[in-house]
Structure 1
């Protein structure tokens, strides 16, 4: 994809809408909608890198209540012709085809390669990548098992949603690595994952979320790893103008 003159590609991650309560997250949802309104003016594309919701499960005829402001804004932007790409995170990994059918937003469940202006990107949420975090990786295998999803679907939505939201807040295994302190350039596990990927192919940029910390780390010759931060405390996002990538803060 060649980015048209004057256009940019935007990236955000980890809104966790609905946490700790819908009422408490509403100001964050409104702020994120303001950001979407701002970036749509010059966006060539928008990438949402997971955990948009603190919990999401799609029954055949039921989706979680709420979030109408952000869903309506995403529908508006998608309908206007600006492509939006969504990567499921560890909190919304039970997303199925609602975004694709209702909003025309393609949904990805693993990292995916994109090329913009001859720069090669590897993009994803980032959960379960790199060394360590074995407890979460085992839990993710359980949660992504088709039989486990089928079994959960038999809970009444009222009970299932209450149970899942409680676990989403309380369980470290569902959250993955909950240590939000910077581990150092050599110890950050997504930086280590990026370095391993470079052994087989060159990437100019690795763009991930999940860590809730905005960071940039040089991982190879002309290769950078960026983490987007979050929309809980940092309100940070990434932008690529066709030549350079940077992390910015939305006030």
Structure 2
């Protein structure tokens, strides 16, 4: 895809709307909607990189209550013809057609490669990639197993959503634990993942979320890993102007 002159590509990740409570997250949601209102003016594409919600599960006829401002704004932007792409995160991995059918937003469960103005991007949420984190990788296989989803669906939404929200808020990154600290390139699994992928094929940018840290790290002389940070403490986002990409704060 060639980006028209004056247009830009925007990237945002890890809003965790609904955490720690709907009331406490609403100011963050309003701020995010205001950001969407601004970037739609010159957006060629918008990438939402996962964990938009702190919990999301799609029953056959029910989706979690709330997030009306966000969903309405996404519908407006999508209806206006601006493409939006969504990558599920570890908190909203149980998406199953609602975004595609209701909002016309494609949803991806694995990293995808895109080319804009002859620059190649590998894009994804970032959970479970790279070496290590074997406990989470095993748990993700359980969560994404069709039988597990079938069992959960038998819980009444009032019980299932409440239970999942309680467990989700216990996540250390949301509860304020200090795990979200830069560990050094050798200990950052996503950095190691990007370096291995770069050995297979050159990409100009590796763009991920999940770590809740705004980071820009050289993978090679002509390649960068960018982590988008979050919309909890940093309010950072990525923007590609057709020539280069940078992180900005809203």
TM over 0.5: yes
1:106 and 1:178 map into 2 onto residues whose CA distance is: 33
Aligned position for 1:189? 189
The alpha carbon displacement at 1:221 in A equals 2.9
2:41 aligns to what SS in structure 1? coil
2:45 aligns to what SS in structure 1? strand
Instruction: Count the aligned residue pairs.
Output: 249
The alpha carbon displacement at 1:240 in A equals 0.1
1:31 and 1:208 map into 2 onto residues whose CA distance is: 21
1:71-110 Cα distance to aligned partner (Å, 9 max, x none): 0000000000000000000000001100000000000001
2:248 and 2:171 map into 1 onto residues whose CA distance is: 30
Q: Tell me the C-alpha RMSD between the 2 structures.
A: 1.6
The alpha carbon displacement at 1:122 in A equals 0.1
The alpha carbon displacement at 1:187 in A equals 2.2
2:246 and 2:181 map into 1 onto residues whose CA distance is: 21
Q: Contact 2:36–2:73 at 8 Å: present in 1 too?
A: yes
Structure 1 residues 90 and 178, CA, compared in 2 at 3 Å: closer, same or farther?
A: farther
Of 5-14 and 187-196, more deviation after overlay is shown by 187-196
The alpha carbon displacement at 1:186 in A equals 2.8
The alpha carbon displacement at 1:140 in A equals 0.4
Aligned position for 2:133? 133
Aligned position for 1:180? 180
1:99 aligns with 2:109: no
Q: Contact 1:236–1:249 at 8 Å: present in 2 too?
A: yes
2:170 and 2:30 map into 1 onto residues whose CA distance is: 25
Aligned position for 2:206? 206
Aligned position for 2:144? 144
2:173 and 2:229 map into 1 onto residues whose CA distance is: 20
Aligned position for 1:85? 85
Aligned position for 2:165? 165
Residue ranges of structure 2 left out of the alignment (5+ in a row): none
1:186 aligns to what SS in structure 2? helix
1:207 aligns to what SS in structure 2? strand
1:178 and 1:129 map into 2 onto residues whose CA distance is: 21
1:199 aligns to what SS in structure 2? helix
Residue ranges of structure 1 left out of the alignment (5+ in a row): none
